[in-house]
């Protein structure tokens, strides 16, 4: 019973390409998040959204943008992919106040930029 779905498990893209990573959740959560996961660095927040059409920068937003046109869908966009964006990208969702519930994560998209 997958509740947060990321459209691709593995992606290989060329430097300079525009890349779209899609995430859909079916739990009617208000909040959605994009993280990248790198060895030794843990999870670093790229962007998050607390409502439709709302977005907030996380810790490392440079080189990324996001789109949330519908409550269930949160897209991460790499405007011009670079090799230092090779990483595992994780999408998560939560209720408006995640303190008691935490996040639900997708399976991740491993992006390689060549």
Partner 1 sequence: AQSVSQHNHHVILSEAASLELGCNYSYGGTVNLFWYVQYPGQHLQLLLKYFSGDPLVKGIKGFEAEFIKSKFSFNLRKPSVQWSDTAEYFCAVNAENAGNMLTFGGGTRLMVKP
Q: Which positions lie near partner 1, rule CB under 8 A? A: 4, 31, 35, 40-45, 48, 50, 90, 92, 94, 96-100, 102-103, 105-108
Encoding tokens for residue 35?
Answer: 């993280």
Closest CA to 21 of 84, 93, 74: 74
Encoding tokens for residue 79?
Answer: 């405007």
The distance of closest approach from Cβ of residue 27 to partner 1 in the complex, given in angstroms and rounded to an integer, is: 14
* Nearer residue to partner 1 within complex by CB, 84 or 100: 100
The distance of closest approach from Cβ of residue 53 to partner 1 in the complex, given in angstroms and rounded to an integer, is: 16
Encoding tokens for residue 47?
Answer: 């962007």
The distance of closest approach from Cβ of residue 5 to partner 1 in the complex, given in angstroms and rounded to an integer, is: 11
**Chain Cα centroid distance, residue 108:** 9
């Amino acid at each position: 019973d997958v509740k947060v779905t990321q459209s691709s498990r593995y992606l290989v893209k060329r430097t300079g390409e525009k890349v779209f990573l899609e995430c859909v959740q079916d739990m009617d959560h208000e909040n959605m998040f994009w993280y990248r996961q790198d060895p030794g660095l843990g999870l670093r927040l790229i962007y998050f959204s607390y409502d439709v059409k709302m977005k907030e920068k996380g810790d490392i937003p440079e080189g990324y943008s996001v789109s949330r046109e519908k409550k269930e869908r949160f897209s991460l966009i790499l405007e011009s992919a670079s090799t230092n964006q090779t990483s595992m990208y994780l999408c998560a969702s939560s209720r408006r106040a995640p303190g008691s519930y935490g996040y639900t994560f997708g399976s991740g998209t491993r992006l390689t930029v060549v």
